[in-house]
Structure 1
Amino acid sequence: MNKFILIIIVFVFSVILSCNSSKMFSEGDILDRLFIEQKKISPVMADNFDYCRRIAISKKEYRSLTQSKFDTLWLIERANEVDLSSSIAAWNSNRDFVVIFELDIDGFNIKEIDYNSFKDPLKTITESFDTKVVDSNHDVLGSKKVFISFVSKQSLVTLGF
């Protein structure tokens, strides 16, 4: 009888684990993994972008990106090194829309635009993650600091320049 109960418990536990692992991402998981990887590159900018993303995720437009079913999430995050004002452009593999979140001393602004009308020189590079094309000389005082990130179920890659 005890063996039968143990088998049932193991079966139920494995079903619960498999259901949880089939969920693509949790918002916290994305944010935590991204923060850890960006902190390796630039701790100050990582803290800034983490703060900005956590404010953005509380807004329905941004949250809808991570709650829909997708296999890849792309981010272009920019910060001004002088005042740490930030902007995040985010979209997922559904390519329906791009959420642009801007945070500065006056507060935040969030807008959702059609993916096809989103024009950014880093859009193609971010999606293909062709790092050979990215100019890495953006560390001059007063210039913008940029992170591009690729998040999928299998991997997370983020580059700072």
Structure 2
Amino acid sequence: MATDSTGKRLYGAPKNWPDIFINHLAETSNIKASADAASVSQSLVYKKRRDDPAFAQRWYAALAEGYDTLEMELLERLRTGRLEDELEDGTRRKFDIGTAFKCITAHRETVMREKSRRSLADEVTTIQSINAKIDRLRERQQQAEALAARRAARAAGSHDE
């Protein structure tokens, strides 16, 4: 199997690597770690993002989700005063509040753009659904009017006899 200079697969990647990558990206907001989790190179994920608009859309949605999670975690830590975590080996790791704020601030525009895009897509879908429902109601109304006209014509014809 061919690999790049870091040992990542260039091809022969798992068929579901995009799903693995996106799910991991939503959890971590870390592209390199997500590519590693999916057993693919970073260059492959960037190429797929450039070439596949649906994948790019999922990518940005995952990043938005990841930053929402970071924001919630930061808020929870600030509210509870939990600024350190105990690792499995017993050591303690300090949560870097300043870096978390910088990450959130740096990516806020991208996240807001994605949320706006999703909101707009939801609005378009809702409007299309409403329009389709109105069209069905109009069609039923026209059918009812046509049926009423035929009945009236029949009734008028039977009175003429």
Superposition TM-score, scaled by structure 1 size? 0.19
The structure with the largest alpha-carbon Rg is 2
Structure holding more helix per residue:
2
Superposition TM-score, scaled by structure 2 size? 0.19
Structure holding more strand per residue:
1
Larger relative CO (CA 8 A, sep 6+): 1 or 2?
A: 1
